[in-house]
Amino acid sequence: MTKLFEQAIHDIPQDVRERVSLNFDIIDQISAILQRKGMTQRDLANLMGKRESEISKWMRGTHNFTLSTISAIQKALGEKIIDTPLNFSKAKK
């Protein structure tokens, strides 16, 4: 086996790694909420008036979530999917 794959992984720019990691944090949070509520991606699609295929596209890791989309998802699910450390520490007090 050549080192091509290893080198390609090594050469991923840090900003791209962080963006993808954030994407997956959001995806995993959405999945966790859906699972807890006994909902499917199709249910989420219906709530948001979208096709299931569009929700599937969000869950791949490369989708560029806008704040507008995140707000719409939060509204549909009835709870936050992202928050800030500042809000978290305020909530703890």
Partner 1 sequence: MRFRKLLFNFELNLKVKCYKGRLVIQQQMPRVTYYSFQFRGAQLTETEKFITRFKDHALYGQDFNMIMAVINEMGRNRGANVDYFRGERYGEALPPPYKSGNLRLYCGRYSGRIVILCNGGVKTSRLPENSPDCRPHFELMNALMKNINKRVWERTLSEKDGILTGDLNFEIGDCYD
Binding footprint of partner 1 on the chain (CB under 8 A):
1-2, 4-6, 8-9, 11-13, 16-17, 19-21, 24, 27-28, 31, 41-42, 52-53, 56-57, 59-62
Q: Would you say 28 or 87 has its CB closer to partner 1?
A: 28
Distance CA 59, CA 35 (A): 14
CB atoms within 10 A of CB 33: 18
Q: Would you say 60 or 80 has its CB closer to partner 1?
A: 60
Q: 42 and 48 in contact (C-beta within 8 Å)?
A: no
CB of 92 to partner 1, least distance (A): 26
DSSP letter (8 states) at residue 82: -
